[in-house]
Amino acid sequence: MSNNRTLPEGFLWGTATASFQIEGSLDVDGRGPSIWDGFSATPGKTADGKDGSVATDSYNRWREDLALLKQYGVNAYRFSLSWSRIIPLGGREDPVNELGIKFYSDLIDALLEAGITPFVTLYHWDLPQALHDRYDGWLNKEEITLDFTRYARVCFERFGERVKHWLTINEPWCVAVLGYGNGVFAPGRSGNREAWIVAHHEIIAHAHAVKLYRDEFKSSQAGEIGITLNGDWKTEWDDSPENVAAAQVARDFAIGWYADPIHLNGEYPSSLREILGDRLPSFTEEERALVLGSSDFYGMNTYTTHLIKAGGHDEFQGNTESTFVRPDGTQLGTQAQSSWLQTYPPGFRLLLNYLYKRYKKPIFVTENGFSVKDENSKPVAELLEDVDREEYFKGNFAAMLEAIHEDGVEIKSYFAWSLLDNFEWADGYVTRFGITYVDYETQKRYPKRSQKFITQWFNSHLHPGDKPSLPTAAASETEPAAHPGVVASPGPGPGSKDDVVPSGATTAVDSGSPALQNKEVTPAEQASVSASKAKSKATGPAKTKPGKEKRSSIGGKLARLWRRLSATPAKA
C-alpha cells in the first residue's frame, strides 16, 4: 500500500510558475519587450483577447506569493527568470538591468530564508523582442547561441552561489512547434522547415550554456544543470503491429526529438530522418560531442496519455493519429478544460519507466497538473472544491510511488503546475491550472481543495530523514484576519513596488479553516467574487497602479537606491 511508502531522502516538492505567466509589469523598472508582449496583445491570438500585461501581478505581489508557498509548506519552488527583465535588449553587448537582477535576487534570498529551495529556469519562452527583430531569434544559430550563453553567464554569476538547480530551457518542443511550426505561440511563424531548425538551435544553445556552467561555475557553486522536456505518454490504441509501431514513432517525435541527442546518442531518432529527410538538420561531430550528456538529469514535464493509431497527417506527431477513445468506445479518463488532457495515472507510471530505462538519468518531475473543465465559469464555492484536480494528483502520486518502489525508478522531485491560476498563453485566462484560485479583478488568491491535499500528501510521505515542511501562518500575529477563514498577506516589503499594504490588498484563504472545509462561503462573499469575475472578463486583470497608495519614507529610499543601482555598470 502506498500509505506505508515514503519518498526518497532529499526529495524536492513544490509548485511551478513562469515569469511571463505571473509577473505582469511589462514596462516597469527597465524591463524590455519580449516576443510575447506584442503577440499576446494582438487581437485573435488569445482565447479571451487578453494579454500578459498584468497576469497575476506577481512582480508587485511576490511576497504574497511567497507567503502562500510558506503556508503550503513546500520545500522547493520552480520559477523562471525573464531574459527581458535582466538584459532588456537581450544581446551579449547589451547592458544588464540592475533592477531586474535585484528583483530576482530578493526573491531568491527570501525563498532561502524561508527554507525553500529555488529551482530556476533560464528561459520559459519570453525571448527579448530585440533579438527577434535583429536576427530572427532562434532561427539564427550563431547569434542566439552567443546571446543565450552570455545571458546564462550573467545569471550564473549573479545567482549561482545561491541557486543549485538550473534548467536552461522549458519545453523547447513548444517553442519550436507552436511558435515556428503552426504559429499559435509567439512569434507566430509557420513553415515546413522552421520548427526543425529552431529545435536544432535550441539544443545547441542549451548545450553551450551547460558547458559554460560546468567549465566555469560548477566546481565552486556545486549545483546541477539540465533541460526540461515536455512529453506525454504515447501508447498503442490496440496491440496490432501497425499501432504498436506507430506508438513508438509518436514517442520519437514527442520525446526522442530532443531527448535522444541530449541523453542517448547525440543523434535524432531514425524515424524523424525517414519522415523529414533533409529538412531535419544534422549535428556536426563537434556539436554531437557537445550535446550528448549535456544534462545532469532528466527534466520531465508531462500531463496526460494519448492512444496512438497508425495514419494521420500531423508531421509533429510523426504522421500518427492520437485519441482518448479506447477501442470499446470508452474515454481514457476524466476530461479537462484543455482538449489535449485527460486523467490516466497508469500512463504517468509508464512514462517514468520509459524515460528512466531508455535514458538512465535521475528524473526531476518539473511540471504536472490539471485544468478542471469549465472551472473559469463556476461559482467560487464550487470552483474551490476542485475534486477532479485532487483526483488527478492523487492518482499520479500513487503511480509515482509505484514507479519508485516497485520499478526502481529514481525520481528526485515533483512540481505541481501551478502555484496560481495565471496567463495560460494562447488560452489567456480562460484555462486555470492553479492550486490557488486568482480573482483577476481584485488579484486576491484563494487556496483550492487540491492544495490542501497536496500539502498533506507530501508531508505524510516524506522520508523520515527529511524535516517535515509544515505550513506556516501567512498572517501577522498582531494583525487580525480580514474575514473568518481568511489570512491576511504580509506587506510587500523591500524589493516590491510598494512597502505598505493598500486597502483591499491581496489576502489568502486559509485552506485548513473550517469555513473552507465545510464550503461555508457566505452569500455576500459569493456575490462579491462572482461580480468581480464577471467584471474581469470584460476589463481584464487588475493592475496595481504605482502612486495610488501612500508610500512610506522607506519606499522613497528604495526608489532612490534602485535608480543608483540602475546606473551601475553591468558586471557581465
Helix, strand and coil percent figures for the chain, each rounded to 5: 45, 15, 40
Backbone angles phi, psi at 296, to 5 degrees: -75, -10
Question: Is the Cβ–Cβ distance between 303 and 415 less than 8 Å?
Answer: no
Q: Edge to edge, what strands does the sheet with 233-236 contain? A: 233-236, 305-310, 320-323
Cα torsion through 23, 27, 33, 38, rounded to 10: 80
Question: Is the Cβ–Cβ distance between 301 and 230 less than 8 Å?
Answer: yes
Integer angstrom CA distances of residue 98 from 44, 66, 395: 35, 22, 44
Q: Which of 114, 29, 159, 82 is nearest to 490 (CA)?
A: 114
Cα–Cα distance measured from residue 26 to residue 42, given in angstroms and rounded to the nearest whole number:
15
Strands 486-488 and 507-509: antiparallel
Question: Is the Cβ–Cβ distance between 228 and 202 less than 8 Å?
Answer: no
Cα–Cα distance measured from residue 412 to residue 21, given in angstroms and rounded to the nearest whole number:
26
For residue 454 the three cell numbers come to 497536496
Question: Is the Cβ–Cβ distance between 356 and 284 less than 8 Å?
Answer: no
| Annotated catalytic residue within 64, 367, 402, 424 | 367
Is residue 367 annotated as part of the catalytic site, yes or no? yes
Cα–Cα distance measured from residue 255 to residue 70, given in angstroms and rounded to the nearest whole number:
34
**DSSP string over 20-74:** HHH---TTSTTPPPBHHHHHHHSTTSSTTS--SSSTT-HHHHHHHHHHHHHHHT-
Question: Is the Cβ–Cβ distance between 156 and 221 less than 8 Å?
Answer: yes
Question: Is the Cβ–Cβ distance between 243 and 308 less than 8 Å?
Answer: yes
| Annotated catalytic residue within 98, 171, 390, 441 | 171
Residues in the chain: 572
Write the burial class of residue 439 (CB in 10 Å: 0-12 exposed, 13-18 middle, 19+ buried): buried
- Which residues are part of the catalytic machinery? 171, 367
